Each structure stands twice: as structure tokens, then as C-alpha cells.
């Protein structure tokens, strides 16, 4: 609003009215007006010519007034100065003509009062101010239209172009003169914006967002069309949609999280993992989507570091809405706005549960192998100790008849030695001590025979059998696998103290690469044997340790903890695998996988051992002084001439000196310095036909099998008694005798 002082010119012949207007202006000090008077139109125009007049009050009854022509003359002389016309009475026709002639207002003198006069004068001044301001702005407004980045086109109601700015010329690829008077060519729909495709003269395609509003162009109704070039934006949107399709199709969950941990966007895989948001249009905190546990233990800290500018890679476990757990590899990447400010985090997840499972199986296998190596060493040393005890008992029993007072004690000690030897066999079985005598076997027959024997004394257990027809053969040591089956049967029976159901099944199966990898074996044909009980089952912690030697859940010393350990070792040593599935209160399933064989099955027979005498010369090689001492006594008792060597180097020296006298060498496999394997090779260099019986506290493992494959004549496991030793010696020295 204008508030500066102004000068009022009153053109009025009546001095009383002049005085009255002067008094009203004096009562309106807020106007800050002073008044000049003129008693004729001629004098009034002279005052206007002198300038400085802000508002004119013109009484139509003033001398010199000659209708519309007089007002027009006054209008020309006043320029842009507002003119307020005064009249003695109300006359609508006269008022209309006055307003058309350029007057700002038409006032009836007898109705005028101070506040009215003040308001009318102020309004006239304001209108003049706005006209002056708009006139000053007009060139700039024209420049805005001309230089506007948006194309501006004026069209008549029939869609004929009346005006274009330079941006429109650029958009259409035509000059102003070529566009004026031509059809616009697009629908004239007002209201919301529409998108139009524009093909320029050169064939280029551009996309414009058009807004249409009604206006006037001169005296003609028209439309003003504003067209904004959105070609780049549309290309970006198309590219964004392609990115969105890529993100939607990827199997890895991806989410966009803002600085306040709100979920801004996610792909389909993310929604499949954690479930869709109930209200995707609303702002939702990430914790509400993935769960408080996942957010607080797995995600929150990494998000905080990422929002500080770090790129984070880590692994963790994510709980799914269905209660399952996924082991996940996660990456957190900072993302930035166009102004380079950090706006949030791109969170990428990848399910590595299967990889972790394979890694865990590998670690378990390596652990079992390490424990097996330790167990094998313990068993070997223990067998050497038992060898000394067994040898002395065998020598004493030969001298003790049935009436000897120590006969019963000797037999008791021998029974204990056998029990101890059975324990070491289990240790060696776990330690992958080797296959004793692998033969092609029908697992249906072997399982059925052992199951029937076990069932005879277990009346409280319900037994079920299901054997596959045409079961493939497997190459196994039948004695060892009888031990495996009995251990599994006993384990199942002990898991059902109140009774239950024990089932055995067999089946042919083929494992593909992924299935075989999960068990740590090769892909191919396998025979599967399942032992299923309905017992109390096992928890996850127990399942992790059941194959560890000396681990047992039995109370009161009822278990040695070697049964399942030996099962694991024997199965693994046959290039097979064993898998366990169990839940507390739901029973247990043991599944054994054994490589199939094309050989025809045959039975593994046991021979009756009887002590046999001899007379030949035997070289006994061992690094244990006690073994040398006991072995010499046993050989002498059997009638042999005995030479001793306390290691590999001694054995070679003795053989070089007395090789012609020596008929057979009993060679220990594990010795410090020169091993049994190296000693055997050196002996064969001295005499390719030398007879060597390999003896070891280990069972027939890979190293012993390699020595036998190079020509060694036999193998004898410690501890052995007099009868076993004599039978082995005669078998080697009398190769043609049955």
C-alpha cells in the first residue's frame, strides 16, 4: 500500500464544496494529502500540466465541461493520474460513461463522508502504483516468456498457433515464422499435465510434459500451452525401470535403508525372505520388517558404521519369519545423493548356509581325522603292551596243565587281554586302521544275519525289516561290518529303555555331485542301510559329538564311548559315509552309504587256529625290547631258531651276515629311524625272494597295504598269541599246504 504524501487537485466551481472537501481531507491525516483547487476545467488542466498531482477530483458541473469530450481531454492531460468523477446525483448511465472514459470511480457528492473519501483516494493511489509497477515489469515479463526454458505456445480455440517462444522453436525444430498459423497437432485438454511425443524436422524424438490453460490473446479466446522437455528424465526413468527389473529378478535380497533406518525400497528376494510390508507406501523402520533380534544382533552396528562412510562385509545368522535360520554373507554399501551427501545404505545379503554346512563338515572331518591319528597311535602303543602280556600268558599256559593252581587266573588274564584288544580294535576302526579282509558282500544277508542274532534276546523291542530286491554288492570286511551293525543295534536298544520299534532297511541309491559332496564322498552308486529307532533321540549338541572317541551319554560307566567312534572309522575306511538325523523325543535314523561293487557276493569264512611247531630260522625285528624278549621266547617254544634285531639298520646288518640261514623275517612296521617300509625295501634289494611277515600294533592300514602290495608275504596284528603266530608262520613257510 502507498503511504507517502500526495497532492489532490479538486476541480470544483462551488467554494462551499471546496471548503468541505478540504475539511474532510484534514480529518484524514493518515492520507497525508494537501489539496489544490480549480474553479474551471481549463484552470484544472493548467494545474495538471504543471505536474505534481497525484489524484484528481473532477465535478462534472464545473464550467468548461462538455460531456465525454471534456473527460477525454482531462484524461489525456492527466496521463496516468487517477481521476475521481463527482456528480450531484446518482446517474448510472453517466457513471458508466465516466468509467469508460478513464475515470477510476464515480462519486455522488451528497453521499461522500470522510472515511469514504479517504478509502476511495487510497484505492486510486494503490491502483496507480500497481499500474506503474506492472509497466516497469512488463519488459522483464516479456523477457521471461521469451527466454523461458520451457516451450510456450499460444493457440486459438481451433488449435492454430498464434505465438511461440524461442524454446518452442528449438523443441519443434522450426522457426517462429514456420510455426505461426499452423495446426498445433496435439489434443487440447486442460487440467492435469499430459505427455506428448514431438518429432522434429530432423526426425529426432523428444518427450514433453504439456500443461494447458485458457487465456486471451488480444481480443481472442486462446490456450497457453507450456511444454517442458522431459526426454532426459524419461530415459532415466526407463533406465531406472530396467535396473528395477534387474534388482527384482536377482536371487540375492537387496534393500535400501535411509539414515534413520527406515526401509526405503527392497527387491522381491528380500520380501521372500522377510515377508512383504503390510503398508508399502508408509515409512517403516527396518526393525519392524526383519525382527528385533536380527536388527539388534546382526544389522544395527554395521548400518551405523556404514552411515559413517565405511563399506562393511560380514557374515551372520538371520532368523526367518518361519523360525528357520539362514547363514548369511552381508555387504553394507554407503549410497550418496546427487549433492554427494550420504543418504543411506544399500544392504545386500547372500545365503551361504550350504557353503557353511560344507565347511562345517570339512572341519568335522579334519577334526575326526586328527583325533583318529591320535587314537591310532594310542592303540598301537597299547597293543605293544598287550603283546608283552599276551606272549607271557601264552608261554605260561603251555607249561600249566588243567590242574595247575594258576590255570584259572591265566585264562582270566587272557580274557582281559582279549577285551583290551577289542577296545584297541575299536580305536583302530575309528582311526581308519584299515580293512582286514574286504570281500564282495550282499548287505541283505549280512544285515539279516546280525539283526536276527540281536533280536533273539531283545523281546521287549518290536523289530521290522525291509530289504531291497536286487541289492548291489559292496566290498567290505564282513567282520568289521558285523561290529558296525551290532553297535548301531545296541545303541538303538539302549535309546529305548521302555521299549519301542527298531527297523532296518536297505536300498540302492545314486548320489549326484551335490549330494555326495554333502557327505564328503564321491558321486556314484551306493548301497544304503538305515537303522531307525523310536527312542528318546538326541539334541543338536549331542549330535555334534556322537562319533568322538570316549564320548558317551551313558551313566555309571556303562559305555566306553568307542562304539560309534569305531562305526564312523570303519564306514569311512570303506570310502563310505554315515549320516545321523535325530530330534529329542522323536527317535534317531542312522544311514550308512557304501560304494556299490560289480563283483559277485561271497561269504567270508573263518579258519580254525591250531598251534603248529617249526624248526626254521626266524629273524625278529622290533624296536621294543619287551617285544623282542617275548617274541624270542614264543618262537623258541614253537621250535624255531631265533635271531634278533633292534631296528632296521640292525636287521640289514644281521641279514647281510646271516641271510643264507634266515628263512623268514618278522618285521615291525613302526620303528624310529628306519621304518618297517624302508627296511623291507632294503631287504628286497639284498634278496628279492626274502620272506617277510609284517607285524604291527596298527591294523592293516594303508601303509601296511602298500608294503604288502610291494611283495610282503603276510601281516600279523599285535597282540597275537602263540597259536596265531604259529599258524601264520606255517602258512608262509609251507605255502602249498592247506
374 domain-assigned = no
> Tell me, what's the pLDDT at 737?
47
Residue 301 clears pLDDT 70, i.e. is over it:
yes
When the pLDDT of each residue in the chain is averaged and rounded to a whole number, the result is 82
Whether the upstream peptide bond of residue 719 has omega within 30° of 0, thus cis, is yes
Q: Alpha carbon of 449 to those of 44, 168, 440, 442, 453: distances in Å? A: 140, 97, 16, 11, 6
244 domain-assigned = no
Of the chain, the percentage scoring pLDDT greater than 90 comes to 21
| Final residue of a structural domain among 140, 171, 191 | 140
Q: Check: CB of residue 227 under 8 Å from CB of residue 193.
A: no
Residue 542 clears pLDDT 70, i.e. is over it:
yes
**pLDDT category of residue 557 using cuts at 50, 70 and 90:** very low
> Tell me, what's the pLDDT at 429?
55
Q: Do 446 and 584 fall within a single domain? A: yes
Q: Alpha carbon of 81 to those of 40, 53, 413, 736: distances in Å? A: 18, 7, 139, 147
**pLDDT category of residue 550 using cuts at 50, 70 and 90:** low
Q: Do 454 and 581 fall within a single domain? A: yes
The SS3 of residue 265 is: strand
424 domain-assigned = no
In a 13 Å sphere around the CA of 503, the CA atoms on its Cβ side amount to 15
634 domain-assigned = yes
The SS3 of residue 471 is: coil
**pLDDT category of residue 166 using cuts at 50, 70 and 90:** confident
- CATH number, position 497: 3.30.565.10
> Tell me, what's the pLDDT at 370?
62
Question: Which residues does residue 345 pair with via DSSP β-bridges, in sequence order?
Answer: 257, 334
Q: Do 445 and 582 fall within a single domain? A: yes
Question: Which residues does residue 86 pair with via DSSP β-bridges, in sequence order?
Answer: 59, 107
Q: Check: CB of residue 190 under 8 Å from CB of residue 214.
A: yes
Q: What is the pTM of this model?
A: 0.39
Query: Residue range 707-713: average pLDDT?
Result: 84
Q: Do 554 and 699 fall within a single domain? A: no
- CATH number, position 297: 3.30.450.20
Q: Do 590 and 509 fall within a single domain? A: yes
Q: Do 569 and 624 fall within a single domain? A: no
Residue 171 clears pLDDT 70, i.e. is over it:
yes
Give the three cell numbers for residue 693: 611277515
Cα–Cα dist 229/200, whole Å: 13
Query: Residue range 442-462: average pLDDT?
Result: 85
Cα–Cα dist 600/306, whole Å: 65
Q: Do 461 and 584 fall within a single domain? A: yes
pLDDT tens-digit profile of 386-430?
A: 766 766 777 676 666 667 767 667 667 766 766 666 666 655 554
Residue 660 clears pLDDT 80, i.e. is over it:
yes
> Tell me, what's the pLDDT at 365?
62
Q: Do 281 and 167 fall within a single domain? A: no
Sheet holding 262-266, edge to edge: 284-285, 262-266, 254-258, 342-351, 325-336, 312-319
- CATH number, position 101: 3.40.50.2300
Cα–Cα dist 390/413, whole Å: 9
135 domain-assigned = yes
Q: Alpha carbon of 572 to those of 423, 430, 435, 496: distances in Å? A: 19, 9, 10, 27
Q: Do 584 and 491 fall within a single domain? A: yes
Q: Do 216 and 101 fall within a single domain? A: no
**Number of compact structural domains in the chain:** 5
Q: Do 160 and 135 fall within a single domain? A: no
Instruction: Return the DSSP state at 603.
Output: P
| Final residue of a structural domain among 351, 385, 401 | 351
| Final residue of a structural domain among 544, 564, 597 | 597
pLDDT tens-digit profile of 55-111?
A: 999 888 888 777 778 888 888 888 888 899 998 889 888 888 888 888 888 899 888
Q: Which domain holds residue 263?
A: 250-351
Residue 120 clears pLDDT 90, i.e. is over it:
no
Give the DSSP H or E segment for 315.
strand 312-319
144-149, Cβ contacts within 8 angstroms, sequence gap of 24 or more: 149/228
Q: Do 559 and 499 fall within a single domain? A: yes
Q: Alpha carbon of 582 to those of 266, 327, 495, 519, 546: distances in Å? A: 38, 21, 12, 17, 12
**pLDDT category of residue 16 using cuts at 50, 70 and 90:** confident
> Tell me, what's the pLDDT at 620?
93
380 domain-assigned = no
302 domain-assigned = yes
Amino acid at each position: 500500500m502507498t503511504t507517502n504524501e500526495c497532492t489532490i487537485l479538486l476541480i470544483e466551481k462551488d467554494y462551499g464544496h471546496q471548503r468541505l472537501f478540504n475539511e474532510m481531507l484534514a480529518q484524514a491525516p493518515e492520507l497525508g494529502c494537501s489539496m489544490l483547487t480549480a474553479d474551471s476545467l481549463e484552470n484544472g488542466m493548467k494545474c495538471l500540466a504543471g505536474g505534481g498531482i497525484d489524484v484528481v477530483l473532477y465535478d462534472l458541473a464545473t464550467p468548461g465541461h462538455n460531456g465525454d469530450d471534456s473527460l477525454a481531454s482531462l484524461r489525456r492531460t492527466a496521463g496516468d493520474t487517477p481521476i475521481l468523477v463527482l456528480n450531484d446525483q446518482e446517474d448510472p448511465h453517466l457513471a458508466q460513461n465516466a468509467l469508460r472514459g478513464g475515470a477510476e470511480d464515480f462519486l455522488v457528492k451528497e453521499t461522500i463522508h470522510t472515511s469514504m473519501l479517504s478509502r476511495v483516494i487510497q484505492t486510486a493511489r494503490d491502483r496507480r502504483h500497481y499500474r506503474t509497477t506492472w509497466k516497469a515489469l512488463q519488459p522483464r515479463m516479456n523477457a521471461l516468456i521469451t527466454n523461458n526454458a520451457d516451450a510456450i505456445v499460444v493457440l486459438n480455440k481451433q488449435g492454430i498457433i498464434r505465438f511461440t517462444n524461442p524454446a518452442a522453436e528449438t523443441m519443434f525444430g522450426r522457426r517462429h515464422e514456420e510455426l505461426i498459423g499452423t495446426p498445433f497437432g496435439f489434443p487440447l485438454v486442460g487440467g492435469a499435465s499430459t505427455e506428448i511425443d514431438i518429432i522434429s524436422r530432423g526426425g529426432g524424438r523428444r518427450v514433453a510434459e504439456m500443461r494447458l490453460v485458457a487465456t486471451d490473446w488480444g481480443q481472442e479466446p486462446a490456450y497457453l500451452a507450456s511444454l517442458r522437455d522431459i526426454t532426459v528424465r524419461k530415459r532415466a526413468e526407463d533406465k531406472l525401470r530396467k535396473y528395477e527389473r534387474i534388482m527384482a529378478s536377482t536371487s540375492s535380497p537387496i534393500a535400501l535403508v535411509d539414515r534413520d533406518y527406515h526401509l526405503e525400497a527392497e527387491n522381491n528376494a528380500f520380501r521372500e525372505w522377510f515377508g512383504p510390508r503390510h503398508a508399502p507406501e508408509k515409512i517403516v523402520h527396518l526393525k519392524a520388517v526383519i525382527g528385533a533380534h536380527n536388527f539388534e544382533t546382526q544389522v544395527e552396528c554395521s548400518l551405523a558404521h556404514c552411515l559413517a562412510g565405511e563399506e562393511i562385509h560380514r557374515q551372520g545368522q538371520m532368523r526367518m519369519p518361519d523360525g528357520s535360520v539362514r547363514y548369511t554373507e552381508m555387504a553394507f554399501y554407503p549410497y550418496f545423493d546427487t549433492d554427494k551427501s550420504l543418504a543411506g545404505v544399500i544392504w545386500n545379503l547372500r545365503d551361504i548356509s550350504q557353503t557353511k554346512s560344507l565347511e562345517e563338515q570339512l572341519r568335522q572331518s579334519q577334526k575326526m581325522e586328527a583325533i583318529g591319528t591320535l587314537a591310532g597311535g594310542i592303540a598301537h602303543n597299547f597293543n605293544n603292551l598287550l603283546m608283552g602280556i599276551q606272549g607271557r600268558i601264552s608261554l605260561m599256559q603251555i607249561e600249566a596243565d588243567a590242574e595247575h593252581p594258576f590255570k584259572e587266573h591265566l585264562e582270566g588274564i587272557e580274557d582281559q587281554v582279549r577285551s583290551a584288544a577289542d577296545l584297541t580294535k575299536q580305536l583302530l576302526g575309528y582311526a581308519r586302521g584299515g580293512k582286514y579282509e574286504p570281500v564282495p558282500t550282499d548287505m541283505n544277508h549280512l544285515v539279516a544275519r546280525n539283526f536276527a542274532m540281536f533280536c533273539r534276546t531283545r523281546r521287549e523291542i518290536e523289530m521290522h525289516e525291509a530289504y531291497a530286491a536286487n541289492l548291489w554288492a559292496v566290498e567290505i570286511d564282513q567282520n568289521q561290518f558285523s561290529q558296525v551293525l551290532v553297535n548301531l543295534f545296541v545303541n538303538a536298544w539302549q535309546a529305548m529303555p521302555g521299549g519301542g520299534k527298531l527297523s532296518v532297511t536297505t536300498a540302492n541309491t545314486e548320489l549326484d555331485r551335490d549330494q555326495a559332496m554333502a557327505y564328503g564322498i564321491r558321486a556314484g552308486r551306493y548301497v544304503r542301510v538305515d537303522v531307525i529307532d523310536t527312542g528318546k533321540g538326541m539334541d543338536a549338541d549331542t549330535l555334534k559329538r556322537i562319533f568322538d572317541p570316549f564320548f558317551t551319554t551313558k551313566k555309571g560307566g556303562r559305555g566306553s564311548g568307542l562304539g560309534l567312534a569305531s562305526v564312523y572309522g570303519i564306514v569311512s575306511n570303506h570310502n563310505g559315509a554315515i549320516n545321523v538325523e535325530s530330534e529329542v523325543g522323536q527317535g534317531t535314523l542312522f544311514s550308512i552309504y557304501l560304494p556299490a561293487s560289480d563283483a559277485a557276493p561271497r561269504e567270508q569264512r573263518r579258519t580254525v587256529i591250531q598251534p603248529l611247531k617249526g624248526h626254521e630260522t626266524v629273524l625278529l625285528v622290533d624296536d621294543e625290547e619287551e617285544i623282542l624278549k617275548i617274541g624270542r621266547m614264543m618262537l623258541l617254544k614253537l621250535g624255531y631258531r631265533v635271531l634278533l634285531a633292534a631296528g632296521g639298520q640292525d636287521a640289514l646288518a644281521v641279514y647281510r651276515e646271516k641271510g643264507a640261514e634266515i628263512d623268514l623275517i618278522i618285521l615291525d612296521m613302526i620303528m624310529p629311524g628306519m621304518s618297517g617300509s624302508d627296511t623291507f625295501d632294503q631287504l628286497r634289494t639284498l634278496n628279492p625272494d626274502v620272506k617277510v611277515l609284517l607285524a604291527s600294533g596298527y591294523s592293516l592300514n594303508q601303509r601296511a597295504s602298500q608294503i604288502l602290495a610291494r611283495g610282503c608275504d603276510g601281516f600279523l596284528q599285535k597282540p597275537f598269541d602263540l597259536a596265531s603266530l604259529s599258524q601264520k608262520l606255517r602258512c608262509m613257510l609251507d605255502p602249498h599246504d592247506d
